[in-house]
Amino acid sequence: MPDYDFTGPRLFLDHRLEANAEIEASPAQANYLLNVLRLDEGAGLLLFNGRDGEWRAALRREGRKRLWLVPQGRTRDQTPLPDLHYCFAPLKSARLDYMVQKAVEMGAGLLQPVQMQHGQAPRFNRERAGANAVEAAEQCGILAVPECRDIVKLEPMLAGWDASRTLIFCDERAGAGDALAVLAPLRGAPLALLIGPEGGFAASERTLLLGLPFVRAVSLGPRILRADTAAVAALALVQAAAGDWTGA
């Protein structure tokens, strides 16, 4: 059960947060707060910036267009993001939006798009993914927004891998296996998760991955899941067996 107030609006911004240091809302933020959420002068909301914890704030209007956010008191101290990297092949637009949002909600601490041979969408719109990550972070109550990196190719990413971080390879060809038995010994360790493209992993990519000492292959069961479904299933499995659902 979350120990914070998740009923009111939360806003991520890139300003320092301190008592009574007013921040002018951007036109987009003002539009969202006044016209979408229909808040008005004096209404309360929560602010976070990834550095100064979470703050209770009130709205102050100036004329018809200007809106100020007035931090009043810290509600939660800053906490780090989970040490879980999510590596994925970009999907096409709406499914990618969904996957990024769900990865953030499920506790990914860093998003790493990866170009693979059977990928459908070799280009990656980092700005759009970042906006989806902010929206998900505001919604799910975390206190920072996971970094969304530029796309990299699979082979160089693996060549430069920090071997102290185990890479959990979601392998659609793995056959039945006990994913929990693979994951449980990794509880609390630095982890990354790799989900392939809709076209699946190429044979050469699979061979490469299976030969690396820091890779553990897992099956997500006997059905082939679409990549966005696999993302949610795999993140739930990792969090429950080895991540922050265990209190690790």
Query: Residue 12, interface with ligand SAM (CB under 6 A)?
Result: no
Classify residue 105 as exposed, middle or buried by CB count within 10 Å of its CB (0-12, 13-18, 19+).
middle
Minimum Å gap between C-beta 182 and ligand SAM is: 12
CB 173 within 8 A of CB 230: no
Distance CA 90, CA 114 (A): 7
Residue nearest to ligand SAM (CB): 196
Minimum Å gap between C-beta 118 and ligand SAM is: 7
Query: Residue 65, interface with ligand SAM (CB under 6 A)?
Result: no
Beta carbon nearer to ligand SAM, 100 or 195: 195
Which residues within the stretch 68-97 sit at the binding site for ligand SAM (CB under 6 A)?
none
Query: Residue 172, interface with ligand SAM (CB under 6 A)?
Result: yes
Q: Which of 193, 201, 238, 243 binds ligand SAM (CB under 6 A)?
A: 201
Segment near ligand SAM (CB under 6 A); pick from 20-28, 30-38, 139-147, 225-233:
225-233
Q: Which of 47, 220, 235, 241 binds ligand SAM (CB under 6 A)?
A: 220
Q: Which of 128, 198, 244, 245 binds ligand SAM (CB under 6 A)?
A: 198
Beta carbon nearer to ligand SAM, 29 or 117: 117
Beta carbon nearer to ligand SAM, 81 or 231: 231
Beta carbon nearer to ligand SAM, 52 or 172: 172
Q: Which of 54, 138, 171, 205 binds ligand SAM (CB under 6 A)?
A: 171
Output the 3-class SS for the chain: CCCCCCCCCEEECCCCCCCCCCEECCHHHHHHHHHHCCCCCCCEEEEECCCCCEEEEEEEEECCCEEEEEEEEEEECCCCCCCEEEEECCCCHHHHHHHHHHHHHCCCCEEEEEECCCCCCCCCCHHHHHHHHHHHHHHHCCCCCCEECCCEEHHHHHHCCCCCCEEEEECCCCCCCCHHHHHHHHCCCCEEEEECCCCCCCHHHHHHHHCCCCEEEECCCCCCCCHHHHHHHHHHHHHHHHCCCCCC
95: its two tokens: 């499914």
Segment near ligand SAM (CB under 6 A); pick from 2-10, 27-35, 180-188, 215-223:
215-223
Query: Residue 11, interface with ligand SAM (CB under 6 A)?
Result: no
CB 194 within 8 A of CB 115: no
Segment near ligand SAM (CB under 6 A); pick from 17-25, 96-104, 133-141, 220-228:
220-228
Binding site for ligand SAM (CB under 6 A): 170-172, 174, 195-196, 198-201, 219-221, 223-227, 230
